[in-house]
Amino acid sequence: MPFNTLPGIGMGTFRLRGNTAREAVKSALSLGYRHIDTAQMYENEAEVGDGITSSGIPRREIFITTKIWHDQLHASDLINSLHDSLARLKTDHVDLALIHWPSPGDAVAMEEYLGALRDAQREGLTDHIGISNFTCAQMDKAVEILGASRILTNQVEVHPFLANRKVVEHAQTLGITVTGYMPLAVGKVMEDETLIRIAQERNISPAQVAIAWVASRGIVPIPSSTRPAHLKANLDALKLELTDAEIESINALDRGERIANPGFAPDWD
C-alpha cells in the first residue's frame, strides 16, 4: 500500500558517502525515521540502498525519495536514469521521484521532462512525483502541465536565515506540500544567539529549535546527520511546540541567506 502523503520528517543524505552513508541510513531507520531522501547527484544511492536493505525494516514501511539530475531531463534519459537509480537503491520503485532542478536556461522544455516524470509514475517506477528548487512561476507552469494534485512536493531550501516565504506560501496555496532541505543551514543554526537562547531556556539544542520552527510552518524538514544522538534529537524535535513569541523571534532571523545557489539556479523569488 503506497504512502498517500509525505512522512513528517525525513533524513537527508546530501554529502554522505560510502560506509558513512550506509551506517547513517541504517541508524536513522532503527531510531524510527521512515523517510530517506537521496538524489542521483549525491552519488550515494547504492549506499543508501545498502543501509535500507540491511536495516531489517520492511521496504513497504520506508518512504524513499530520489531526485533526477538536470543532465537527464530529456524524456528517454529521464526514464533510463530512474531505472538506474532503482538498481542502485535495490528496489523496484521509489515512493517519490523529483526533478532536482528546473532545466537550466529551459534547455529542455518543462512539458517534456514533467511528461516523462508522469510516464515514470504510470510505469510504476515511482508512487509519487514532484519538483525541487522551482520558483513560483515555475510551480504555476508545472501545475498547468500536471495538475496540482499530481505534484506531491516542491523541495526547497528553508532554514531560519532563509524563510523562503513567497515560495512556501505559494506552494501551500496551490496545495503542494513543501519539503525543507538544509533546515540547519549546514550547522549555522548552532551559532545563532537567538536560537541558542531559546534552546537553553528549553534545555534542548538550537538544531531542535530550528527543526521545530520549520515544522511549525507545515513544512517537512529533512535534516542530515551521521551521529545517532543527533539523528534522534532531530526526530524528537517534531514533538516540540514553540510559543508565538519564540516563533516571532526566529522569524526575525530571516536574511535571505541562500546556501544552495549554483550558477544554473533559476531567478529566485
Residue-wise pLDDT tens digits, 10-34: 999 999 999 999 999 999 999 999 9
Residue 264 domain-assigned?
no
Residue 68 domain-assigned?
yes
Residue 208 domain-assigned?
no
Domain ranges, residue 54:
11-185+219-225
Residue 165 domain-assigned?
yes
Residue 137 has pLDDT above 80, yes or no: yes
CB atoms within 10 A of CB 118: 16
Q: Which residue among the candidates 33, 42, 113, 181 is catalytic per the annotation?
A: 42
CA distance 170 to 189: 26
The total number of structural domains that make up the chain: 1
Residue 2 has pLDDT above 80, yes or no: no
**SS3 string of 123-177?**
CCCEEEEEEECCCHHHHHHHHHHHCHHHEEEEEEECECCECCHHHHHHHHHHCCE
Question: At 81, is the secondary structure helix, strand, or coil?
Answer: helix
Which one has a higher pLDDT value, 148 or 114? 114
pLDDT in tens, 158-210: 999 999 999 999 999 999 999 999 999 999 999 999 999 999 999 999 999 99
Question: At 8, is the secondary structure helix, strand, or coil?
Answer: coil
Residue 1 has pLDDT above 60, yes or no: no
Residue 61 domain-assigned?
yes
Q: Which own/partner contact pairs does 223-229 have at CB distance under 8 Å and 24+ positions apart?
A: 223/9, 223/11, 223/12, 223/183, 223/184, 224/11, 224/12, 224/13, 224/14, 224/15, 224/16, 224/184, 225/11, 225/24, 226/16, 226/20, 226/23, 226/24, 228/27, 228/31
Q: Which of 177, 121, 98, 112 is nearest to 141 (CA)?
A: 112
Count of residues making up the chain: 269
pLDDT for the residue 85: 98
pLDDT for the residue 164: 98
Averaged over 4-13, what is the pLDDT?
A: 94
To 5 degrees, how large is the angle CA 217–CA 185–CA 136? 50
pLDDT for the residue 33: 98
Residue 200 domain-assigned?
no
Residue 113 a catalytic site member: no
Mean pLDDT of the chain: 97
| CATH code of residue 179 | 3.20.20.100
Averaged over 107-130, what is the pLDDT?
A: 98
Please report, in range form, the residues annotated as the binding site for substrate.
100
Q: Which of 135, 194, 118, 130 is nearest to 159 (CA)?
A: 194
pLDDT for the residue 4: 80
pLDDT in tens, 63-92: 999 999 999 999 999 999 999 999 999 999
- The amino acid occupying position 234 is N
Residue 3 has pLDDT above 80, yes or no: no
Residue 233 domain-assigned?
no
Please report, in range form, the residues annotated as the binding site.
100
Averaged over 227-253, what is the pLDDT?
A: 97
User: For residue 241, what is its C-alpha cell?
Assistant: 511546540
